[in-house]
Amino acid sequence: MRGLGLRLAGRGGRLAAAVDKHGIAGAARAACRMVKDAAYQDEVSTWFEVLLDKERPRVPAVHGDLVLATDDDAFDLLNAIGSQSADVARRRRSAGGAPWVLLMDGKPAFCCWLYAGRSPINSMPGEWLNLPPAVRTLEDSITAPDFRGRGLAGGVWMTLFDDLEREGVRSVVTNVLDTNVPSTRAVLKVGFAPVASMRYVRIGPWSRQYLTPLGAGSGPAIVEDLHRRTHWHRRA
Ligand SMILES: CC(C)(COP(=O)(O)OP(=O)(O)OC[C@H]1O[C@@H](n2cnc3c(N)ncnc32)[C@H](O)[C@@H]1OP(=O)(O)O)[C@@H](O)C(=O)NCCC(=O)NCCS
Protein backbone atom coordinates (compact mmCIF):
# COMPACT_ATOMS: atom_id res chain seq x y z
CA MET A 1 0.00 0.00 0.00
CA ARG A 2 2.85 2.32 0.86
CA GLY A 3 4.44 1.81 -2.59
CA LEU A 4 1.09 2.44 -4.29
CA GLY A 5 0.66 5.59 -2.23
CA LEU A 6 4.06 6.88 -3.28
CA ARG A 7 3.49 6.03 -6.92
CA LEU A 8 0.09 7.76 -6.96
CA ALA A 9 1.49 10.74 -5.14
CA GLY A 10 3.16 11.79 -8.34
CA ARG A 11 -0.24 11.94 -10.07
CA GLY A 12 -2.29 13.43 -7.30
CA GLY A 13 -1.44 13.82 -3.63
CA ARG A 14 -5.09 13.83 -2.55
CA LEU A 15 -5.86 10.52 -4.21
CA ALA A 16 -2.74 8.93 -2.72
CA ALA A 17 -3.65 10.21 0.73
CA ALA A 18 -7.19 8.86 0.38
CA VAL A 19 -5.91 5.42 -0.66
CA ASP A 20 -3.45 5.40 2.26
CA LYS A 21 -6.23 6.35 4.66
CA HIS A 22 -9.24 4.38 3.42
CA GLY A 23 -7.79 1.60 1.22
CA ILE A 24 -8.57 1.25 -2.48
CA ALA A 25 -12.26 0.31 -2.01
CA GLY A 26 -12.83 3.08 0.52
CA ALA A 27 -11.10 5.66 -1.67
CA ALA A 28 -13.20 4.52 -4.65
CA ARG A 29 -16.39 4.92 -2.58
CA ALA A 30 -15.28 8.40 -1.46
CA ALA A 31 -14.47 9.35 -5.08
CA CYS A 32 -17.94 8.13 -6.20
CA ARG A 33 -19.55 10.22 -3.45
CA MET A 34 -17.60 13.31 -4.59
CA VAL A 35 -18.64 12.82 -8.23
CA LYS A 36 -22.28 12.26 -7.20
CA ASP A 37 -22.25 15.37 -4.97
CA ALA A 38 -20.77 17.44 -7.80
CA ALA A 39 -23.40 16.17 -10.23
CA TYR A 40 -26.48 16.02 -8.03
CA GLN A 41 -27.85 18.09 -5.19
CA ASP A 42 -31.25 17.97 -3.54
CA GLU A 43 -31.51 20.07 -0.39
CA VAL A 44 -34.17 21.83 1.61
CA SER A 45 -33.35 25.15 3.23
CA THR A 46 -35.22 28.00 4.85
CA TRP A 47 -35.03 31.68 3.96
CA PHE A 48 -35.05 33.86 7.04
CA GLU A 49 -35.53 37.60 7.21
CA VAL A 50 -34.99 40.10 9.99
CA LEU A 51 -36.75 43.47 9.71
CA LEU A 52 -34.28 45.98 11.09
CA ASP A 53 -36.69 48.79 11.93
CA LYS A 54 -38.98 46.50 13.95
CA GLU A 55 -38.27 45.59 17.53
CA ARG A 56 -35.55 42.93 17.59
CA PRO A 57 -34.36 40.76 20.47
CA ARG A 58 -31.17 42.06 22.08
CA VAL A 59 -28.39 39.52 22.71
CA PRO A 60 -25.19 40.06 24.72
CA ALA A 61 -22.68 42.23 22.85
CA VAL A 62 -19.37 40.59 21.95
CA HIS A 63 -15.95 41.78 23.10
CA GLY A 64 -13.11 41.94 20.65
CA ASP A 65 -12.29 43.78 17.46
CA LEU A 66 -14.79 43.61 14.64
CA VAL A 67 -12.93 44.44 11.43
CA LEU A 68 -13.66 44.48 7.73
CA ALA A 69 -11.25 42.13 5.92
CA THR A 70 -9.76 43.86 2.91
CA ASP A 71 -6.52 42.15 1.92
CA ASP A 72 -5.00 38.74 1.38
CA ASP A 73 -3.60 38.57 4.93
CA ALA A 74 -7.08 39.06 6.31
CA PHE A 75 -8.51 36.50 3.85
CA ASP A 76 -5.97 33.99 5.18
CA LEU A 77 -7.46 34.62 8.63
CA LEU A 78 -10.92 33.74 7.30
CA ASN A 79 -9.55 30.59 5.74
CA ALA A 80 -7.82 29.65 9.00
CA ILE A 81 -11.17 29.26 10.75
CA GLY A 82 -12.70 27.17 7.98
CA SER A 83 -14.16 29.83 5.71
CA GLN A 84 -13.45 29.94 1.98
CA SER A 85 -9.97 30.15 0.46
CA ALA A 86 -8.28 33.53 -0.01
CA ASP A 87 -8.90 33.10 -3.73
CA VAL A 88 -12.67 32.78 -3.38
CA ALA A 89 -12.69 35.55 -0.74
CA ARG A 90 -10.86 37.88 -3.14
CA ARG A 91 -13.40 37.20 -5.89
CA ARG A 92 -16.36 37.71 -3.57
CA ARG A 93 -14.85 40.91 -2.20
CA SER A 94 -14.44 42.30 -5.69
CA ALA A 95 -18.06 41.31 -6.38
CA GLY A 96 -19.09 43.67 -3.59
CA GLY A 97 -19.16 41.38 -0.54
CA ALA A 98 -18.15 42.75 2.85
CA PRO A 99 -16.34 40.15 4.99
CA TRP A 100 -16.45 40.96 8.70
CA VAL A 101 -14.06 39.25 11.11
CA LEU A 102 -14.18 39.24 14.88
CA LEU A 103 -10.72 39.07 16.44
CA MET A 104 -10.47 38.02 20.07
CA ASP A 105 -7.04 38.49 21.62
CA GLY A 106 -5.77 38.80 18.05
CA LYS A 107 -7.24 35.43 17.01
CA PRO A 108 -10.00 35.14 14.38
CA ALA A 109 -13.06 33.87 16.26
CA PHE A 110 -15.92 34.51 13.84
CA CYS A 111 -16.55 35.80 10.35
CA CYS A 112 -19.52 36.50 8.11
CA TRP A 113 -20.24 38.24 4.81
CA LEU A 114 -22.81 40.90 4.00
CA TYR A 115 -23.85 41.57 0.42
CA ALA A 116 -25.60 44.50 -1.20
CA GLY A 117 -26.94 44.62 -4.75
CA ARG A 118 -26.11 41.07 -5.72
CA SER A 119 -25.39 38.03 -3.61
CA PRO A 120 -24.03 34.52 -4.03
CA ILE A 121 -25.95 31.90 -2.06
CA ASN A 122 -23.95 28.95 -0.79
CA SER A 123 -26.76 26.47 -1.10
CA MET A 124 -27.15 27.43 -4.78
CA PRO A 125 -23.62 27.05 -6.20
CA GLY A 126 -22.78 29.41 -9.02
CA GLU A 127 -26.04 31.38 -8.77
CA TRP A 128 -26.45 35.03 -7.80
CA LEU A 129 -29.49 36.81 -6.48
CA ASN A 130 -30.43 40.41 -7.25
CA LEU A 131 -31.23 42.39 -4.14
CA PRO A 132 -33.37 45.50 -3.76
CA PRO A 133 -31.43 48.54 -2.48
CA ALA A 134 -32.62 48.33 1.13
CA VAL A 135 -32.01 44.59 1.52
CA ARG A 136 -28.77 42.81 2.41
CA THR A 137 -27.90 39.12 2.54
CA LEU A 138 -25.92 37.45 5.27
CA GLU A 139 -23.74 34.59 4.04
CA ASP A 140 -20.86 32.38 5.16
CA SER A 141 -21.13 32.90 8.89
CA ILE A 142 -18.66 30.74 10.74
CA THR A 143 -17.45 30.62 14.31
CA ALA A 144 -14.04 29.04 14.94
CA PRO A 145 -14.68 25.60 16.53
CA ASP A 146 -13.10 26.60 19.89
CA PHE A 147 -15.41 29.62 20.16
CA ARG A 148 -18.75 27.97 19.33
CA GLY A 149 -21.67 28.03 21.74
CA ARG A 150 -20.72 31.42 23.25
CA GLY A 151 -23.19 33.52 21.31
CA LEU A 152 -20.52 35.18 19.14
CA ALA A 153 -22.49 34.85 15.91
CA GLY A 154 -25.56 36.59 17.33
CA GLY A 155 -23.49 39.26 19.06
CA VAL A 156 -21.69 40.20 15.83
CA TRP A 157 -24.85 40.07 13.70
CA MET A 158 -26.67 42.35 16.16
CA THR A 159 -23.85 44.93 16.01
CA LEU A 160 -23.75 44.83 12.21
CA PHE A 161 -27.55 45.04 11.93
CA ASP A 162 -27.67 48.07 14.25
CA ASP A 163 -25.21 49.81 11.90
CA LEU A 164 -27.19 48.79 8.81
CA GLU A 165 -30.40 50.07 10.37
CA ARG A 166 -28.72 53.45 10.95
CA GLU A 167 -27.72 53.43 7.25
CA GLY A 168 -31.38 52.96 6.26
CA VAL A 169 -31.25 49.24 5.38
CA ARG A 170 -34.70 47.72 5.87
CA SER A 171 -33.99 44.01 6.18
CA VAL A 172 -31.39 41.26 6.06
CA VAL A 173 -32.14 37.84 4.60
CA THR A 174 -30.23 34.61 4.99
CA ASN A 175 -30.60 31.03 3.85
CA VAL A 176 -29.98 28.08 6.19
CA LEU A 177 -30.07 24.39 5.34
CA ASP A 178 -32.79 22.68 7.37
CA THR A 179 -30.21 20.15 8.60
CA ASN A 180 -28.12 22.96 10.16
CA VAL A 181 -29.58 23.10 13.68
CA PRO A 182 -26.88 25.32 15.32
CA SER A 183 -27.26 27.93 12.59
CA THR A 184 -31.06 27.87 12.75
CA ARG A 185 -30.95 28.35 16.52
CA ALA A 186 -28.43 31.18 16.19
CA VAL A 187 -30.43 33.17 13.60
CA LEU A 188 -33.72 32.84 15.52
CA LYS A 189 -32.05 34.38 18.59
CA VAL A 190 -31.45 37.72 16.82
CA GLY A 191 -34.95 38.06 15.39
CA PHE A 192 -34.76 36.31 12.02
CA ALA A 193 -38.12 34.77 11.09
CA PRO A 194 -38.71 32.10 8.43
CA VAL A 195 -40.19 33.58 5.25
CA ALA A 196 -39.87 30.80 2.67
CA SER A 197 -38.92 27.17 2.40
CA MET A 198 -36.84 26.25 -0.62
CA ARG A 199 -36.02 22.91 -2.15
CA TYR A 200 -33.07 23.26 -4.50
CA VAL A 201 -32.44 20.49 -7.00
CA ARG A 202 -29.40 20.46 -9.26
CA ILE A 203 -28.39 17.87 -11.81
CA GLY A 204 -25.05 18.86 -13.31
CA PRO A 205 -25.44 22.44 -14.60
CA TRP A 206 -29.27 22.25 -14.56
CA SER A 207 -31.12 23.41 -11.49
CA ARG A 208 -34.49 24.54 -10.25
CA GLN A 209 -36.12 25.69 -7.04
CA TYR A 210 -39.39 24.81 -5.37
CA LEU A 211 -40.48 27.65 -3.12
CA THR A 212 -43.10 27.63 -0.40
CA PRO A 213 -43.76 30.98 1.28
CA LEU A 214 -44.05 30.59 5.06
CA GLY A 215 -46.21 32.73 7.33
CA ALA A 216 -47.89 35.96 6.40
CA GLY A 217 -44.85 38.22 6.80
CA SER A 218 -43.73 40.64 4.12
CA GLY A 219 -41.21 38.07 2.90
CA PRO A 220 -37.95 39.05 1.27
CA ALA A 221 -38.22 40.77 -2.07
CA ILE A 222 -35.67 38.26 -3.25
CA VAL A 223 -38.36 35.59 -3.10
CA GLU A 224 -39.63 37.30 -6.23
CA ASP A 225 -36.24 36.76 -7.86
CA LEU A 226 -36.21 33.15 -6.66
CA HIS A 227 -39.66 32.56 -8.12
CA ARG A 228 -38.23 33.28 -11.56
CA ARG A 229 -36.06 30.18 -11.14
CA THR A 230 -38.78 27.66 -10.44
CA HIS A 231 -38.22 26.02 -13.79
CA TRP A 232 -35.20 24.05 -14.93
CA HIS A 233 -32.45 26.36 -16.08
CA ARG A 234 -28.80 26.03 -16.92
CA ARG A 235 -26.14 27.71 -14.83
CA ALA A 236 -24.48 30.57 -16.71
C1 LIG B 1 -23.79 28.44 13.03
C2 LIG B 1 -22.66 29.03 13.85
C3 LIG B 1 -22.05 30.19 13.06
C4 LIG B 1 -23.24 29.55 15.17
O5 LIG B 1 -22.21 30.25 15.85
P6 LIG B 1 -22.08 30.34 17.45
O7 LIG B 1 -21.24 31.55 17.70
O8 LIG B 1 -21.61 29.06 18.00
O9 LIG B 1 -23.60 30.60 17.88
P10 LIG B 1 -24.30 30.29 19.30
O11 LIG B 1 -23.30 30.37 20.40
O12 LIG B 1 -25.49 31.18 19.35
O13 LIG B 1 -24.75 28.80 19.21
C14 LIG B 1 -25.80 28.40 18.31
C15 LIG B 1 -26.11 26.94 18.52
O16 LIG B 1 -24.95 26.14 18.29
C17 LIG B 1 -25.03 24.94 19.11
N18 LIG B 1 -23.83 24.84 19.95
C19 LIG B 1 -23.66 25.21 21.24
N20 LIG B 1 -22.41 24.93 21.65
C21 LIG B 1 -21.77 24.39 20.58
C22 LIG B 1 -20.45 23.90 20.39
N23 LIG B 1 -19.54 23.93 21.35
N24 LIG B 1 -20.13 23.42 19.15
C25 LIG B 1 -21.03 23.41 18.15
N26 LIG B 1 -22.32 23.87 18.29
C27 LIG B 1 -22.67 24.35 19.51
C28 LIG B 1 -26.29 25.06 19.93
O29 LIG B 1 -27.33 24.41 19.22
C30 LIG B 1 -26.52 26.56 19.95
O31 LIG B 1 -27.88 26.89 20.13
P32 LIG B 1 -28.38 27.20 21.64
O33 LIG B 1 -27.53 28.32 22.16
O34 LIG B 1 -29.80 27.60 21.45
O35 LIG B 1 -28.19 25.94 22.40
C36 LIG B 1 -21.57 27.96 14.16
O37 LIG B 1 -22.21 26.81 14.72
C38 LIG B 1 -20.76 27.52 12.96
O39 LIG B 1 -19.75 28.14 12.62
N40 LIG B 1 -21.18 26.43 12.27
C41 LIG B 1 -20.46 25.91 11.10
C42 LIG B 1 -20.63 26.80 9.90
C43 LIG B 1 -22.09 27.00 9.54
O44 LIG B 1 -22.87 26.07 9.52
N45 LIG B 1 -22.43 28.26 9.24
C46 LIG B 1 -23.78 28.68 8.94
C47 LIG B 1 -24.06 28.58 7.49
S48 LIG B 1 -25.75 29.07 7.18
Whichever domain contains 190, its CATH number is 3.40.630.30
Residue at 81 is within a domain: yes
Residue 232 or 170, more confident: 170
Mean pLDDT of 44-51: 94
> Ligand 1: which of 119, 178, 183, 200 to mutate, most ligand atoms within 8 Å of CB?
183
Mean pLDDT of 33-37: 64
How many domains does the chain divide into? 1
Residue at 28 is within a domain: no
* Residues sharing a CB contact under 8 Å with residue 207, sequence separation 6 or more, in sequence order: 41, 124, 127, 200, 201, 229, 232, 233, 235
pLDDT of 197-232, one tens digit each? 999 999 988 888 888 888 655 555 666 777 777 788
Q: Tell me the C-alpha distance between 82 and 91, whole Å.
A: 17
Domain span at 218: 43-234
Residue 223 or 41, more confident: 41
pLDDT of 91-113, one tens digit each? 999 989 999 999 999 999 999 99
* Neighbouring C-beta atoms of residue 26, cutoff 10 Å: 12
Tell how far the Cα of 160 is from the centroid of ligand 1, in angstroms: 18
Question: Residue 68 to residues 16, 101, 234: CA-CA distances in angstroms?
Answer: 39, 6, 34
Secondary element (H or E) of residue 102: strand 98-104
Is pLDDT above 60 for 15? no
Q: Tell me the C-alpha distance between 209 and 81, whole Å.
A: 31
Tell how far the Cα of 62 is from the centroid of ligand 1, in angstroms: 15
> Ligand 1: which of 143, 150, 158, 172 to mutate, most ligand atoms within 8 Å of CB?
143
Is pLDDT above 70 for 116? yes
Tell how far the Cα of 176 is from the centroid of ligand 1, in angstroms: 12
Pairing mode of beta strands 135-143, 171-177? parallel
Is pLDDT above 70 for 84? yes
Residue at 27 is within a domain: no
Tell how far the Cα of 24 is from the centroid of ligand 1, in angstroms: 36
Residue at 228 is within a domain: yes
What are the counts of helices (DSSP H) followed by strands (DSSP E) for the chain? 7, 11
> Ligand 1: which of 112, 140, 148 to mutate, most ligand atoms within 8 Å of CB?
148
